[in-house]
């Protein structure tokens, strides 16, 4: 990936925030931004929700039960978000960084691979099925939307969560795909600590220079984006 001289994005840790509110805020951020708008990366958790991508097949939702299903505008099939999962939304101007979609997907995957390698975990990406896998089990999912040359949505990284809801779907459209989190792999941590560990790895994967810059650790989506 070519080295970028652009200003690095600001990282915002938002805590536990509702899915639909945050999704709409990402859309507004993307629609309202201009060539001078600084990129942002939001790191957060969601209450339990299944999300179905634009080309997602409803039959991959096997038994949603009390968990809501939200049809959204990212690529990919169905996945699950819930507490204990680090969700990373990459609000980037791809033209500014001279990034293609595939390069961004690879950067997100590599950030996770490099993060977990420090804990002795060997993870890998698959070209045919985006995401990060450990011994065939899915540790993280990737799904993006590109609009006006800018990205939103991003990745979902399983840290310490209830994995049972994944059994109610065919994760990412794959029947019988096993899902894993860091706790199952023997790593004891919190979502916030994993976010702090991963942030510099993501800048490296994007070939961006400079230190990680965090905004205030607010617990909701920024009010001016609502």
pLDDT digits (tens, 9 = 90+) for 137-187: 999 999 999 999 999 999 999 999 999 999 999 998 989 899 999 999 999
Domain annotation covers residue 1: no
Domain annotation covers residue 39: yes
Domain annotation covers residue 59: yes
In this prediction, residue 6 has a pLDDT band, given cuts at 50, 70 and 90, of low
Euclidean distance between CA atoms 205 and 198, whole angstroms: 10
172 is catalytic: yes
Domain annotation covers residue 67: yes
Catalytic residue among 172, 191, 206, 221: 172
For residues 96-124, average pLDDT: 96
Domain annotation covers residue 130: yes
The CATH code of the domain that includes 189 is 3.30.930.10
Contact 155, 112 (CB under 8 A): yes
For residues 119-135, average pLDDT: 94
Its domain, for residue 85, covers 10-225
Domain annotation covers residue 35: yes
Structurally, the chain folds into a number of domains equal to 1
pLDDT digits (tens, 9 = 90+) for 181-190: 999 999 999 9
**Strand ranges inside the chain, DSSP E:** 10-16, 40-45, 49-52, 69-71, 78-81, 85-91, 124-125, 132-134, 137-147, 150-158, 213-214
Q: How many residues does the chain have?
A: 226
């Amino acid at each position: 990936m070519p080295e970028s001289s652009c200003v690095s994005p600001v990282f915002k840790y938002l805590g536990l925030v509702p899915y639909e509110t945050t999704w709409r805020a990402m859309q507004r951020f993307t629609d309202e931004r201009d060539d001078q708008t600084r990129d942002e990366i939001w790191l957060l958790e969601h209450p339990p929700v299944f999300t179905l991508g634009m080309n997602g097949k409803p039959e991959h939702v096997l038994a949603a039960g009390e968990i809501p299903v939200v049809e959204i505008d990212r690529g990919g099939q169905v996945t699950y978000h819930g507490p204990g999962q680090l969700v990373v939304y990459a609000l980037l101007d791809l033209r500014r960084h001279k990034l293609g979609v595939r390069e961004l997907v690879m950067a997100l995957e590599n950030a996770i691979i490099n993060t977990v390698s420090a804990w002795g975990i060997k993870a890998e990406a698959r070209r045919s099925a985006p995401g990060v896998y450990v011994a065939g089990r899915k540790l993280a999912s990737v799904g993006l939307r590109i609009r006006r040359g800018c990205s939103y949505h991003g990745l979902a990284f399983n840290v310490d969560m209830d994995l049972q809801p994944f059994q109610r779907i065919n994760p990412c459209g794959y029947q019988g795909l096993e899902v894993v989190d860091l706790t199952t792999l023997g790593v004891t941590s919190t979502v916030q600590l994993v976010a702090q560990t991963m942030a510099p790895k993501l800048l490296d994967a994007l070939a961006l220079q400079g230190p990680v810059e965090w905004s205030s650790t607010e617990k909701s989506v920024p009010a001016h984006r609502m």
